Amino acid sequence: MFGRAKKKTGPRTVTLIGKPGCHLCDDARAVIREVCAETGAVWEEKDILQDEELNRAYWEQIPVVLVDGEQHTFWKVDPARLRRALEA
């Protein structure tokens, strides 16, 4: 089966990249927490102030949301779109 991506086994992982005191990050966290609870996905949070590489890559986009390590969105998280991505 050439040309087909291998489907990830186990729960999907959502990563929120943000910083303390960011109101958009707070909004994103609430959406991620709710959608992950509904879909069984796990989520984690990374602080760009603690990671120089993330800071360089995402400073102007926070909050940034990754799904299984791939950028899904930034600034505002649409719950329906995140849910579809996790159920795909």
Per-residue pLDDT of 4-41, as tens digits, reads 444 557 899 999 999 999 999 999 999 999 999 999 99
Q: Which residue ranges make up each domain of the chain?
A: 13-87
Give the tens place of pLDDT for each residue, 39-83.
999 999 999 999 999 999 999 999 999 999 999 999 999 999 999
- Note the pTM of the prediction, 2 decimals: 0.87
Query: Are the beta carbons of 56 and 68 closer than 8 angstroms?
Result: no
Give yes or no for a contact between 31 and 82, defined as CB atoms under 8 angstroms apart: yes
The answer to whether the beta carbons of residues 65 and 74 sit under 8 Å apart is: yes
Could you confirm whether domain 13-87 is CATH 2.30.29.30? no
Closest to 72 in 3D by CA, of 13, 19, 8: 13
Residue 7, both tokens? 């489907």
